[in-house]
Amino acid sequence: MHPRAGTPALPEDLIDVDALVGAYYDRVPDPSVPDEQVVFGTSGHRGSSLSTAFNEAHIVAITQAIVEYRRSQGTDGPLFIGRDTHGLSEPAQRTAIEVLVANGVEVHVDARDSFTPTPAVSLAILRHNGAGTSEGVRTHGPGLADGIVVTPSHNPPADGGFKYNPPHGGPAGGEATGPIAARANELLADGWRHVARIPYERAITSDLVKRHDYLTAYVDDLTNVVDLEAIRTAGVRIGADPLGGAMAEYWGVIGERYGLDLTVVNPTVDPRWPFMTLDWDGKIRMDCSSPHAMASLVARMTAGDGPAPYDIATGNDADSDRHGIVTPDGGLLNPNHYLAVMISYLFGGARPQWPTSAAIGKTLVSSSLVDRVGAQLGRTVLEVPVGFKWFVPGLIDGSVGFGGEESAGASFLRKDGTVWTTDKDGPIACLLASEILATTGKSPSEHHRALVDELGESWYARIDAAATREEKAKLGALSPEQVTATTLAGGAITARLTAAPGNGAAIGGLKVTTDDAWFAARPSGTEDVYKIYAESFVSAEHLAQVQAEAKDVVAAALAN
């Protein structure tokens, strides 16, 4: 923990935006250096121009690779593009538009020439491709739309990010990102300067560039997902903090459009993020699930003896695909706790039009409290590997009513049981907290305490353990038979998993369970560590024992 975690940023913590943008254009990556290659993680390619990991050459190559990939798939409709508030996002979007237009792709940009939340791009793709029609969403064939979101999500201000959303509207899977990254790296090595481009001033005025009102389309449709009338009637006082992200202009419009008692806590947008409090490691990071990054909002809600200024306060990260919920009686809700509350509320009678067979989607590193809630409700819990992309098919056909991750990302169906967005949607999770309060009279924190009383309290944490590149590769390819341990922290091991039970997909690591605890180990894609997620329904001390023995179990498996 950094000694200044949770304290306001100082001038020396801030980036030089001009230097950052200058490096985007001036630095040219060396494709023989692994850290300077195109690498697609679970949320696209990310990096900083200052470390030659996110530069003009990368975006030219990735965009060209996307053009070629969408052609190979027969996707010849418009491409919806949006960007967040990071300093590198606008330059990268400009570069992408230059390449897309030169390749004859129809590009839909924001009508306000402003910021666009990730879920608004997902919604635009889905609506173009048939969501809400009798035909339903089409994901293959001519005339279909896809999209690009220029964002590194909650990453520090010096970072840039670039992700592709295919016609299903959600994050691209490996079947797309693998070929796109491989082709982009080929172009980096021998031809990115030869990629067709049109100067931005000509490209943006081309007939191929259309203006799309992402804001109005998203805001007008929200009433079909969340009970905004209940929130208005109950007079729930909402404090919405966009954390300097893409929701900065949206929250005020939502409040006015639906007559909500909603205050935009801080509407300032500044790519240096000077108004943030530092995260756990002393970096500026727009992580709305972090008590350190959210310290100022938490203090505003919980300080002093008088009443809190809001009944519900919320935060979003830079592209608004994550949510943070703060209540006067509970402070910042742990993301796992709020997942369980949302699921209990939505499937417990709040959405009577949802299919009775609709499953609860969770990632395998999310709290087992979700499994206990699912069992209580008599609903199937679909446990999938890390990555929101695994929920996309179920959200499209309605077989999954809710998909959520332990990292504060979630989306769910419209009230009528049809698809809303297939990417993480922070705003609807934030508004749902107010709906819960409005319709039940209890805060999400109170609902969580009730769940704990019924189903048991748990202790959850993630830690890192050192690992070489070779060990990480071996961990990612383990088989259950390589795990020889029979007990974990005093309990008999009930499952050894290297594939997710919900869909059989490889998890790229290992999960071990007992009746009252579990751990999952996954290699980091960027550091010489592996991540250990663990939970105990016994005690904090038992969690520590699980974490310690997890390292021994992994070491023994790697030695086999």
- Continuous H helices in 110-268: 118-128, 174-190, 200-203, 214-221, 228-234, 250-258
pLDDT of residue 560: 80
Cα dihedral 405/410/414/420 (nearest 10): -110
Which residues touch 340 (CB under 8 Å, ≥6 apart)?
Answer: 367, 369, 370, 373, 448, 451
Active site residue 443: no
**Residue 249 maps to a domain:** no
* Interval 331-356 mean pLDDT: 97
Contact by Cβ (8 Å): 285, 244: no
Is the pLDDT assigned to residue 128 strictly greater than 90?
Answer: yes
Report angle CA 182, 188, 190 to the nearest 5 degrees: 105
* Interval 68-87 mean pLDDT: 97
Contact by Cβ (8 Å): 507, 385: yes
**Residue 100 maps to a domain:** yes
Compute the distance between CA of residue 473 and CA of residue 234 in angstroms, rounded to an integer.
Answer: 53
Q: In this structure, are strands 400-405 and 459-466 parallel, antiparallel, or unpaired?
A: unpaired
Contact by Cβ (8 Å): 296, 8: yes
**Residue 201 maps to a domain:** yes
Measured in degrees and rounded to the nearest 5, phi and psi for residue 425 equal -130, 95
Compute the distance between CA of residue 277 and CA of residue 255 in angstroms, rounded to an integer.
Answer: 26
Other beta carbons within 10 Å of 106: 17
Compute the distance between CA of residue 424 and CA of residue 237 in angstroms, rounded to an integer.
Answer: 25
**Residue 179 maps to a domain:** yes
Structure tokens at 34: 């692994």
Compute the distance between CA of residue 386 and CA of residue 404 in angstroms, rounded to an integer.
Answer: 10
Is the pLDDT assigned to residue 314 strictly greater than 90?
Answer: yes
- Reported as half-sphere exposure (CB side, CA atoms, 13 A), residue 101 has a value of 23
Q: Which of these is catalytic: 153, 344, 367, 458?
A: 153
| CB burial of residue 274 (10 Å; 0-12, 13-18, 19+) | middle
* Interval 68-82 mean pLDDT: 97
Average pLDDT score over the chain: 95
Compute the distance between CA of residue 6 and CA of residue 439 in angstroms, rounded to an integer.
Answer: 33
- The strands making up 79-83's β-sheet, listed across from edge to edge, are 40-41, 44-48, 159-165, 146-150, 79-83, 107-110, 209-212
Q: In this structure, are strands 79-83 and 146-150 parallel, antiparallel, or unpaired?
A: parallel
The alpha carbon of 181 is separated from its chain's Cα centroid by a whole number of angstroms, namely 20
Which residues touch 220 (CB under 8 Å, ≥6 apart)?
Answer: 257
**Residue 440 maps to a domain:** no
Compute the distance between CA of residue 394 and CA of residue 412 in angstroms, rounded to an integer.
Answer: 10
Which CATH number characterizes residue 472's domain? 3.30.310.50
The full DSSP string for 445-510 is: HHHHHHHHHHH---EEEEEEEE--HHHHHHHHT--GGG----EETTEE--EEEEE-TTT--EEEEE
- The strands making up 400-405's β-sheet, listed across from edge to edge, are 381-384, 359-363, 400-405, 409-412
Tens of pLDDT, residue by residue over 466-503, are 888 899 999 999 999 999 999 999 999 999 999 999 99
Structure tokens at 445: 């924190």
Is the pLDDT assigned to residue 406 strictly greater than 90?
Answer: yes
Longest dimension (CA), the chain: 68
Listed as own residue / partner, the contacts of 265-268 with beta carbons closer than 8 Å and 24 or more positions apart are 265/239, 265/240, 265/241, 265/297, 265/300, 265/313, 266/241, 266/242, 267/242, 268/244
> Which of residues 180, 215, 250 is at a domain's end?
215
Is the pLDDT assigned to residue 526 strictly greater than 70?
Answer: no
Measured in degrees and rounded to the nearest 5, phi and psi for residue 202 equal -80, -40
Structure tokens at 539: 């005690």
Tens of pLDDT, residue by residue over 260-280, are 999 999 999 999 999 999 999
Banded pLDDT at 105 (limits 50, 70, 90) = very high
With both helix axes pointing from N to C terminus, report the angle between 335-345 and 369-377 in degrees, rounded to the nearest 10.
10
**Residue 2 maps to a domain:** no
Number of domains making up the chain: 2
Residue with structure tokens 């998993």?
A: 497
Residue with structure tokens 């993680």?
A: 41
Is the pLDDT assigned to residue 440 strictly greater than 70?
Answer: yes
For 503, the domain range is 459-559
> Which of residues 189, 215, 241 is at a domain's end?
215
pLDDT of residue 212: 98
| DSSP annotation of 350 | I
Q: What is the CA radius of gyration of the chain?
A: 23
Tens of pLDDT, residue by residue over 32-73, are 999 999 998 767 899 999 999 999 999 999 999 999 999 999
pLDDT of residue 66: 98
Contact by Cβ (8 Å): 144, 75: yes
Q: What is the pTM (predicted TM-score) of this model? A: 0.96
> Which of residues 215, 249, 265 is at a domain's end?
215
**Residue 393 maps to a domain:** no
Tens of pLDDT, residue by residue over 182-237, are 999 999 998 899 999 999 999 999 999 999 999 999 999 999 999 999 999 999 99
Which CATH number characterizes residue 149's domain? 3.40.120.10
pLDDT of residue 493: 97
Contact by Cβ (8 Å): 518, 505: no
Helix, strand, coil percent content, the chain, rounded in steps of 5:
40, 20, 40
**Residue 234 maps to a domain:** no
Structure tokens at 263: 């205050």
Q: With pLDDT > 90 as the criterion, what percentage of the chain qualifies? A: 91
Compute the distance between CA of residue 22 and CA of residue 462 in angstroms, rounded to an integer.
Answer: 37
